[in-house]
Structure 1
Amino acid sequence: MKTDLFRSAIAALALIAAPAVVHAHGSMKPQHGGMVQMTGETMFELVTGPKGVDVYLSEEDEPIPAASYTAKLTQTAAGKKTEAALKAAGGNKLSAPGFKAAKGAKIVVALIDKNGAKTFATFQTK
């Protein structure tokens, strides 16, 4: 009887703690209609469109100033690699205007902070 009560208590604690674990680093819901990847503590949101590619940076739902980084994206599609610089475009936004994201391409975003530390996020376009 004591064992069943103990197991029930552990199960209840696990259910209570689970939502806190899932949201420990903020929401993974896209804020700009793009695709989201988490790398370490940094959330990348890749937004592709007819005018180019934008990447938004955040950590625990707080925007990270894009001007603090240099960045580039590398697209691999149909066996060919294409690269473009991502430039700070205000707030937490990096942009590669005019860059065309191919359907089914692998896009890697490389982010380098002022200390030289590199962070990467990989996306697969649809």
Structure 2
Amino acid sequence: MKFDLFRAGLAALALAALPATAFAHGSMKPQHGGIVQMSGETLIELVSGPKGTDVYLSEEDEPVAATDYTAKLTQTLAGKKSEAALKPAGGNKLSAPGFKAAKGAKVVVALTDKGGAKIFATFQTK
């Protein structure tokens, strides 16, 4: 069996590039204490608090302007659905004041950008 130095070098180079590729879209760590999902290039963080539910948008660790989107939340719990509009609340934050994400619910965030492209993220609340 002949050892091919060129192929071995290519394989080593490909393995060395794996960690950089794995983090190409930025951190998946929640920045606001919520839960995160990746949809395409967009990181969506769902945060439920006493005043309502907020969603934060980013791409490659950079905030994405919430004003570029129309959005809504759809929650399903025990076969019942409820919806709420998300409104821009400054920077990369969208808010649904008064909307409480229930524990154990499935929550879908539906975003539509100004060009009409749609982004969806599904969360299972804890």
Q: Confirm or deny a common fold (TM above 0.5).
A: yes
Give the equivalent residue in structure 2 for 1:67: 67
The one-letter code of the counterpart of 2:103 is K
Give the equivalent residue in structure 2 for 1:124: 124
Q: TM-score normalised to the size of structure 1? A: 0.91
The one-letter code of the counterpart of 2:21 is V
Q: Percent identity?
A: 79
Give the equivalent residue in structure 2 for 1:76: 76
SS of the residue corresponding to residue 43 of structure 2 reads: strand
Q: Distance in 1 between the 2:9 and 2:114 partners?
A: 48
RMSD of equivalent CA atoms: 1.7
1:16 deviates by 1.4
The one-letter code of the counterpart of 1:79 is G
The one-letter code of the counterpart of 2:33 is G
Give the equivalent residue in structure 1 for 2:86: 86
Q: Distance in 2 between the 1:109 and 1:49 partners?
A: 16
1:96 deviates by 0.5
Gaps of 5+ in 1: none
SS of the residue corresponding to residue 15 of structure 1 reads: helix
Gaps of 5+ in 2: none
Q: Distance in 1 between the 2:125 and 2:4 partners?
A: 48
Tell me the alpha carbon deviations over residues 55-106 of structure 1, each in whole angstroms, 9 at most, x when there is no partner.
0001111100001111000000011000000000000000011111111100
Tell me the alpha carbon deviations over residues 21-60 of structure 1, each in whole angstroms, 9 at most, x when there is no partner.
1111111111111111111111101111221110000111
